[in-house]
Amino acid sequence: MRPMLLDTHRKTIGYLLWIFGFLGAHRFYYGRPVTGTLWFLTLGLCGVGWLIDLFLIPGMDREADLRFHGGRYSYNVAWLLLTFLGVFGVHRLYLGKWITGILYLLTGGFFLIGVLYDFWTLNEQVSIRNARLF
């Protein structure tokens, strides 16, 4: 019997982040921080990897749905907040991390180093928060 698949990540969000994919945003979103960093440093492998990812997103979406815990906190909301408001710490406030959220607000996301850390670990942070609720 196949386990029930929770839709923790959305293809529409993946494609929205793909627009910025030459910076690796969609790869970080789908839990691939190493290649996300590679895309960031090489501008999506000089655009070639970025274009290929247009066709790989459905598979990355399925893998992310299998890998991460669904629950009260939405990966989609957390990622949109991090991507567009990360330096203000809004994604941390959303996850109930008030102290670090306020510190991010006052320090520009710990001088952008904290934002980079969150790009590497946000899926795990949300997954842990969701697992605690059960």
**28 and 56 both lie in a single domain:** yes
**111 and 54 both lie in a single domain:** no
- pLDDT tens string 6-52: 789 999 999 999 997 778 999 999 999 999 999 999 999 999 999 99
- pLDDT tens string 78-128: 999 999 999 999 999 999 999 999 999 999 999 999 999 999 999 999 999
**47 and 95 both lie in a single domain:** no
Q: Alpha-carbon distance 38 to 23, whole Å?
A: 9
Number of domains within the chain:
2
Residue of 64, 66, 83 lying closest to 123 (CA atoms) = 64
**94 and 124 both lie in a single domain:** yes
Q: 36, 67, 98 — which closes off a domain?
A: 67
- Cβ atoms 68, 75 nearer than 8 A: yes
pLDDT at 4: 56
Tally Cβ neighbours within 10 Å of residue 9.
Answer: 26
**117 and 59 both lie in a single domain:** no
The encoded tokens of residue 26 equal 């969609």
The encoded tokens of residue 55 equal 């066709």
**27 and 81 both lie in a single domain:** no
Full domain range(s) for residue 51 = 1-67
The reported pTM is: 0.90
